[in-house]
C-alpha cells in the first residue's frame, strides 16, 4: 500500500485551489498587453504597469490576490513551524509576486482587507537583508493578515 505524506496532499490541494481561482474567463480574450494595463477590471481599473503574469482586463481582484497568497503558501512550512522556515530566493520571490498582485488588485479589494499590512509585511519578508531574528514574528503576522484578506474575499 502506498502512503502519501500529508504535506504532499496539502500542497497539491492548495495548488488546485489557487489555480482554479485564476480560471475565470476574460471578457476580452484578444486584449493586447497595452490594453490590459489600462483596461477596466471587474471592480475598477488597473493603471500603469502589469505586475502579474497573465493579468487580463476583467480579472477578479479577489481571485488574483487569493491565488497569489496560495502560490506563496506552497513554499511556506505549515503554521507553527515558522522557526524552521527556509528563506531562499523562492520564498522571497513569492512574497515579491504577492506584492505585485497587491499593487495591481489591492485597491479593488473589499475595504475590510488589510492590504497595506500584508504589503508591508511581504515587502520586508521579500528582502534578503531582513534579519532572520525578525522573520519568525513577521511570518506569523503575515499569516494573520493574509487570513483577513481571504476572509474579506469570502475565502477561508
E strand spans, the chain: 40-41, 44-45
H or E segment at 56?
A: none
Give the range among 7-11, 54-58, 88-92, 99-103 with minimum mean pLDDT: 7-11
pLDDT in tens, 98-115: 999 999 999 999 999 999
pLDDT in tens, 33-64: 333 333 333 344 445 566 667 777 578 999 99
**Cα 132 from Cα 143, distance rounded (Å):** 17
Interval 66-72 mean pLDDT: 96
Amino acid at each position: 500500500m502506498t502512503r502519501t505524506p500529508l504535506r504532499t496532499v496539502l500542497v497539491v490541494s492548495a495548488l488546485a485551489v489557487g489555480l482554479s481561482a485564476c480560471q475565470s474567463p476574460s471578457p476580452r480574450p484578444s486584449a493586447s498587453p497595452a490594453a490590459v494595463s489600462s483596461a477596466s477590471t471587474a471592480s475598477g481599473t488597473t493603471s500603469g504597469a502589469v505586475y502579474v503574469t497573465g493579468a487580463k482586463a476583467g480579472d477578479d481582484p479577489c481571485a488574483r490576490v487569493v491565488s497569489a497568497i496560495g502560490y506563496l503558501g506552497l513554499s511556506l512550512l505549515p503554521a507553527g513551524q515558522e522557526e524552521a522556515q527556509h528563506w531562499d530566493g523562492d520564498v522571497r520571490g513569492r512574497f515579491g509576486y504577492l506584492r505585485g498582485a497587491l499593487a495591481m488588485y489591492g485597491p479593488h479589494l473589499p475595504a475590510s482587507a488589510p492590504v497595506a499590512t500584508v504589503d508591508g509585511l511581504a515587502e520586508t519578508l521579500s528582502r534578503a537583508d531582513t534579519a532572520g531574528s525578525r522573520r519568525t514574528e513577521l511570518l506569523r503576522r503575515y499569516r494573520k493578515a493574509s487570513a483577513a484578506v481571504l476572509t474579506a474575499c469570502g475565502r477561508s
